[in-house]
A = this chain, B = another copy of it.
């Protein structure tokens, strides 16, 4: 039987690897289970966590973990942000999106996010500092919605969903816009009956760059990320919202919830309390 794996935190109980001692907290790819046997040799992102009283432990899963680093690497290395750029983020209230928007604001950009509920839209505007936000489920036409928030077009689209949102963004990009392809969680992208992306031709006359990326290609900047984002958090310049489910038995429902937009913020499953 193959265990299901995900990015998680664990306390070391026993270890014959001198880098990981009993009592250490580590993050990495860990089984959905109460006890895991981890081999550092096949777990490229296994890391010791530096505990910090000012930072909730679970933040090492999201803000300071794979999701936060995806936002940081993608925004800084793929999007080529400039002060004053107009930035659009989809799934903006999600584990990755919420940091992308806040980094863009810190960078001096105008930032608009989309999300799938009224409550998330409020969080984006009132807690995460997005300039504007909209509920895509209430929009009859995504192209019209984007034109409302970006009358002069989009410089950077951080795409977490693919599908019809990507298609609408393509129509609204400025010349030399950049699209970071980060995730395609939308139902259109996952379904085999997908209509596909119809507006890619826009990329030619607008000279757009679309680039896919994985955070694991940028591990050399992980220490810089950790230092900067910890500092932003401690200085109160960024916040992070989590949705914590208690107990391993809720993990499958939490996973399914991701695809229907049930969670608000980074979805965390706490298997065992500290």
Binding site for B on A (CB under 8 A): 162, 166-167, 181-184, 189, 194-198, 200-214, 217
Report yes or no: A204 in contact with B184, Cβ–Cβ below 8 A.
yes
A194–B201 Cα gap in the complex (Å)? 12
Report yes or no: A184 in contact with B201, Cβ–Cβ below 8 A.
yes
Report yes or no: B210 in contact with A203, Cβ–Cβ below 8 A.
yes
Interfacial chain B residues near A167, Cβ < 8 Å: 196
| Known contacts A162-B201, A198-B196, A201-B162; is-contact A209 B211 (Cβ 8 Å) | yes
| Minimum C-beta distance from A261 to chain B (A) | 19
Report yes or no: B210 in contact with A209, Cβ–Cβ below 8 A.
yes
A204–B182 Cα gap in the complex (Å)? 6
| Known contacts A195-B195, A196-B195, A197-B196; is-contact A212 B217 (Cβ 8 Å) | no
A23–B209 Cα gap in the complex (Å)? 43
Report yes or no: B208 in contact with A214, Cβ–Cβ below 8 A.
no
A182–B208 Cα gap in the complex (Å)? 11
| Known contacts A184-B201, A201-B189; is-contact A210 B207 (Cβ 8 Å) | no
Copies in the complex: 2
Which of A183, A201, A217 is packed against the most chain B CB atoms within 10 Å?
A: A201
- From the candidates B189, B197, B204, B211, name the one contacting A214 in the complex (CB within 8 A): B204
Interfacial chain B residues near A209, Cβ < 8 Å: 209-212
Report yes or no: B210 in contact with A205, Cβ–Cβ below 8 A.
no
Residue on B nearest A206 in the bound complex, by CB: B212
- From the candidates B166, B194, B204, name the one contacting A198 in the complex (CB within 8 A): B194
Interfacial chain B residues near A208, Cβ < 8 Å: 211-212
Report yes or no: B210 in contact with A217, Cβ–Cβ below 8 A.
no
| Minimum C-beta distance from A66 to chain B (A) | 14
Q: List 23 A-B contacts (CB under 8 A).
A: A167-B196, A181-B203, A181-B204, A182-B204, A184-B201, A195-B195, A196-B197, A197-B198, A200-B210, A202-B212, A203-B210, A203-B212, A204-B214, A205-B212, A205-B214, A206-B212, A207-B211, A207-B212, A207-B213, A207-B214, A209-B209, A209-B210, A210-B211
Interfacial chain B residues near A162, Cβ < 8 Å: 200-201
Interfacial chain B residues near A217, Cβ < 8 Å: 207
Interfacial chain B residues near A201, Cβ < 8 Å: 162, 184, 189
Interfacial chain B residues near A200, Cβ < 8 Å: 162, 166, 181, 184, 196-197, 200, 210
A201–B205 Cα gap in the complex (Å)? 22
A42–B182 Cα gap in the complex (Å)? 41
A211–B175 Cα gap in the complex (Å)? 12
Residue on B nearest A182 in the bound complex, by CB: B204
Interfacial chain B residues near A194, Cβ < 8 Å: 196, 198
